Structure 1
Amino acid sequence: MRFLLVVPPLAGHVAPLRGVADALASRGHSVAWCGPEPELSALVSGRVCAAGDSAPFALSLRPPGLRGFAALKYLWESYLVPLADAMVPGVSAAVTAFSPDVVVADQQAMAGALVAARCGLPWATSASTSTELADPLGSLPKIASWVSDLQAGLRARHGVLLGDLRFSPHLVLAFTTRALAGPCRLAVPVSYVGPVLPAASAEWSGSDGRPLVVVTLGTSNDAAGSRFLAESVDALAGMPSVQGLVVDPSGQLVSERVGLARRIPQVAVFARASVVVCHGGHNTVCEALAAGVPLVVAPIRDDQSMLAQQVTAASAGIRLRFDRAKAADIRAAIESAEQHRAGAVRIRESFEAAGGAEEAATRLESLA
């Protein structure tokens, strides 16, 4: 069988499907990727079909101070919808050239859904983050209607009669578990296969024997992120009983008491950690919880607030105000995180039972 994976050029969205692609290939299936070039080829291996150019509306162009509805408005009007329009011709060409049996479309690569529906192909949604499964706009009808209108315009421009482009009526692969995501409010088949995480390349050897506290904000590196990281360094400097490690992509922070790194092998480091302080990115949250490590979550934008809510609802961590947290607040949160270890372990066990990439591959085979 042949599977076409349609994705945006975003590392966090591509990451879970890399493991699924490997699982499908190991079973003898043909797999091709489709997305904007040259960004996609830098994220995946194997056959890549070019689909559009994301440079004119890259998320990196988003003003750093956007929060709340302003951030959502930018995401939809300046990224998701233009990206879909730009990708449709390339996805159509890929379908013609590759002749897939199934299209797998990331939630933020709606061109995959548009072309699959237009060609009458079965398609699955790759939900790399789980927040929309709980219908976060359900209590905000005006915003939900605005999103619906934007999708209606997309469908009309490309001659498609379909429902919500973010959720396949055939199969939604949710790379999480109900234990973390909570109840689903979608009227479509959802398979909770758990996160698909990269294997640790090697064991991390930087531990000095004290409990390890890791602070990372992923790729967030604006002024607000620098402020939070600096406050975290101050917090950890006043905690001599723990080993602090702060990930500072800018390389601008200086400390004699706290470890600093521009990047880390997260899976290997989290395996040795006692607490992880993060921004609530889906991959970071799942990598920490897969190691049974309690979290301190300081969400910045997009789906991160919902992820923080899931973590606290699962008693797997606590939440901080990203824009207001001072060193004393961060220190207090770290000190109290241990009480959430049992919740983090429960989520780890749910991840282990979900099946991951192999279960996702089985579901896609059934769809084909």
Structure 2
Amino acid sequence: MTGVASTSETTVTPRTYLFALTDGGGTVPPELGVARRLVDRGHRVTVLADESLADQVRNTGAMFVPCLWSPAEAFRDYELRTPTSLARGIADYMFTGPAPAQARDTTAALDAVRPDLLVTSSFALGAMIAAEAYGCPFDVLLPNSYPLPATGMPPFGSGLSPVHGPLGRLRDETMTALGARMIDRYALEKINAVRADYGLGPVAHMWDQIHHARRQLVLTSRAFDFPATLPHNARYVGPILDDPAWAAEEEWAAPAGDNPLVLVAMSSTFQNQADCLQRVVDALGSLPVRGLVTTGPTVPADALRAPANVTVVDSAPHREVMRHASLVVTHGGHGTVIKALAAGLPLVILHHGRDQADNAARVTARGAGVAVSRRAPAQRIARGVTTVLGTDDYRKAAEALGQAIRHDAAGTTLMDELETLIPAPGRTTPSGS
């Protein structure tokens, strides 16, 4: 491709981008949404990813290159009961286990594509190491609230809201330091071994590898996240509101009647959520509402018993359904939460793990919904639904937050950051290649 690519607003010089993505379930739609937007603006985009994402990548218009780093089995984090076991599991499965293969595959792709910029998932530390050794600048995509330690930000995964003053700072510093030590205990030595293989010096903490990025691109709205002092290279660039591939193309029909429509949308990946889904269905069955439950790709729709006022389907286009809904019941994944708020819809969140308690804290702190235990009985879930539907303040708060989210999603900050002039880097041959 030569010359320039035109858009209705600007003229951009085509550049070459390489993406190194991990299959993180709910992180895939926003990350591929970034790739699609670059393709639409006339750039050359290649995506290095697991074979399971091949069709989704090609549907963006990008070139797909298969990687060899994906594990054979899904991460069963819902079986890990202690902070220590969870830290070890996250380190082994997401960060250190794939890192050597990520570095090898990414180095080969860098040689073949010779991009102006590498864009990686936040878990792809091996790809970041390869880029750093190669002399190629890299950006990291963070498709949630800001997850790394930052002054003023409650510890990631804690589900806590900010507490101001000395006691709040002490709480955050203590919990953040403890979490960093646990991750470093299981990951730091292995990550530094990969760095050494590629001729790079050690990092003091595992998170420092992400801090070496040219940009940390936070794919959410600043209005959604809690205020904090972020690193100099972190940027809020607005959310990507694309539906996941499994939900985007399906036809759907609203259940009959005039009662409020409640959309139930749980995780794209398996989090042992079938029992929780059944209790949500039972709760809706006891209320004067119409329920539409999307089970996603990991729970078959026929596994649930549904009353007459609840329709259970494998999938439906969430953004379209939300135009007709009055409430969203969800596990609290960032993608579903941010799309519901963008549609002006309040939420009932039954968070399961990962970043979901943090998203629930942000929703409840703004008065845009309630959090209910994922183990709550159907009667308790029904009370949560009744409370939110019966109190207009929740809808007003969701709409107010949604206005800011829609503004950020429609903005140009993401493309401005990615299309910023990138100096041609020097090329080196890493010793680990």
TM-score, normalised to structure 2, is 0.77
Instruction: Count matched residues.
Output: 362
Range moving further from structure 2, 348-357 or 193-202:
193-202
Is the contact made by 1:92 and 1:115 (CA closer than 8 Å) also made in structure 2?
A: yes
Equivalences for residues 91-110 of structure 1 within 5 A: 91-110=106-125
Is the contact made by 1:172 and 1:188 (CA closer than 8 Å) also made in structure 2?
A: no
**What letter is aligned with 2:155?**
P
Measure, in 2, the Cα distance between the counterparts of 1:265 and 1:355. Answer: 18
Is the contact made by 1:212 and 1:243 (CA closer than 8 Å) also made in structure 2?
A: yes
**What letter is aligned with 1:342?**
K
Measure, in 1, the Cα distance between the counterparts of 2:48 and 2:137. Answer: 16
Please state if 1:74 is matched with 2:89.
Answer: yes
Q: 1:220 to 1:198 in 2, by over 3 A?
A: closer
**What letter is aligned with 1:327?**
A
1:181 alignment partner, SS class: coil
Measure, in 2, the Cα distance between the counterparts of 1:203 and 1:179. Answer: 33
Q: 1:152 to 1:345 in 2, by over 3 A?
A: farther
- Could you say which residue in structure 1 is the equivalent of 2:377? 326
Q: 1:105 to 1:220 in 2, by over 3 A?
A: closer
Is the contact made by 1:179 and 1:314 (CA closer than 8 Å) also made in structure 2?
A: no
- Could you say which residue in structure 2 is the equivalent of 1:156? 193
**What letter is aligned with 1:73?**
R
Is the contact made by 1:296 and 1:320 (CA closer than 8 Å) also made in structure 2?
A: yes
1:180 alignment partner, SS class: coil
Measure, in 2, the Cα distance between the counterparts of 1:135 and 1:99. Answer: 39
Measure, in 1, the Cα distance between the counterparts of 2:192 and 2:66. Answer: 22
2:320 alignment partner, SS class: helix
Q: 1:221 to 1:103 in 2, by over 3 A?
A: closer
- Could you say which residue in structure 2 is the equivalent of 1:264? 316
Range moving further from structure 2, 341-350 or 180-189:
180-189
**What letter is aligned with 2:292?**
L
**What letter is aligned with 1:20?**
V
- Could you say which residue in structure 1 is the equivalent of 2:53? 40
1:178 alignment partner, SS class: coil
Correspondence for 1:274 among 314, 326, 332: 326
After TM superposition, give the deviation of residue 185 of structure 1 in Å: 3.9
Equivalences for residues 245-324 of structure 1 within 5 A: 245-248=292-295, 249-250=299-300, 251-257=302-308, 258-323=310-375
Is the contact made by 1:314 and 1:343 (CA closer than 8 Å) also made in structure 2?
A: yes
Correspondence for 2:394 among 297, 315, 340: 340
Deviations along 1:86-143, one digit per CA (max 9) or x if unpaired, are 2110000000110011111111111221112112222111001224143626432233
* Structure 1 unmatched runs, 5+: none
- Could you say which residue in structure 2 is the equivalent of 1:172? 216
- Could you say which residue in structure 2 is the equivalent of 1:144? 180
- The alignment yields a C-alpha RMSD, in angstroms, of 2.4
Correspondence for 1:365 among 419, 425, 428: 419
Is the contact made by 2:255 and 2:292 (CA closer than 8 Å) also made in structure 1?
A: no
1:344 alignment partner, SS class: helix
- Could you say which residue in structure 2 is the equivalent of 1:198? 242
Measure, in 2, the Cα distance between the counterparts of 1:142 and 1:202. Answer: 44
Equivalences for residues 2-41 of structure 1 within 5 A: 2-36=16-50, 38-41=51-54
Measure, in 1, the Cα distance between the counterparts of 2:45 and 2:29. Answer: 15
Is the contact made by 1:122 and 1:367 (CA closer than 8 Å) also made in structure 2?
A: no
Is the contact made by 2:322 and 2:340 (CA closer than 8 Å) also made in structure 1?
A: yes
* Structure 2 unmatched runs, 5+: 1-14, 157-172, 423-433
**What letter is aligned with 2:329?**
V
Q: 1:300 to 1:131 in 2, by over 3 A?
A: farther
Measure, in 2, the Cα distance between the counterparts of 1:357 and 1:10. Answer: 25
Range moving further from structure 2, 131-140 or 306-315:
131-140
Please state if 1:49 is matched with 2:98.
Answer: no
Is the contact made by 2:25 and 2:268 (CA closer than 8 Å) also made in structure 1?
A: no
Is the contact made by 1:114 and 1:155 (CA closer than 8 Å) also made in structure 2?
A: no
Measure, in 2, the Cα distance between the counterparts of 1:132 and 1:184. Answer: 11
After TM superposition, give the deviation of residue 166 of structure 1 in Å: 2.9
After TM superposition, give the deviation of residue 212 of structure 1 in Å: 0.6
Measure, in 1, the Cα distance between the counterparts of 2:269 and 2:40. Answer: 35
2:97 alignment partner, SS class: helix
Please state if 1:186 is matched with 2:230.
Answer: yes
Deviations along 1:57-94, one digit per CA (max 9) or x if unpaired, are x4x24264324523333121233211222211000000
After TM superposition, give the deviation of residue 311 of structure 1 in Å: 1.4
Range moving further from structure 2, 86-95 or 205-214:
205-214
- Could you say which residue in structure 1 is the equivalent of 2:7? none
**Larger CA Rg, structure 1 vs 2:** 2
- Could you say which residue in structure 1 is the equivalent of 2:143? 128
Range moving further from structure 2, 341-350 or 99-108:
341-350
Measure, in 2, the Cα distance between the counterparts of 1:195 and 1:226. Answer: 28
**What letter is aligned with 2:188?**
Q
After TM superposition, give the deviation of residue 220 of structure 1 in Å: 5.2
After TM superposition, give the deviation of residue 329 of structure 1 in Å: 0.9
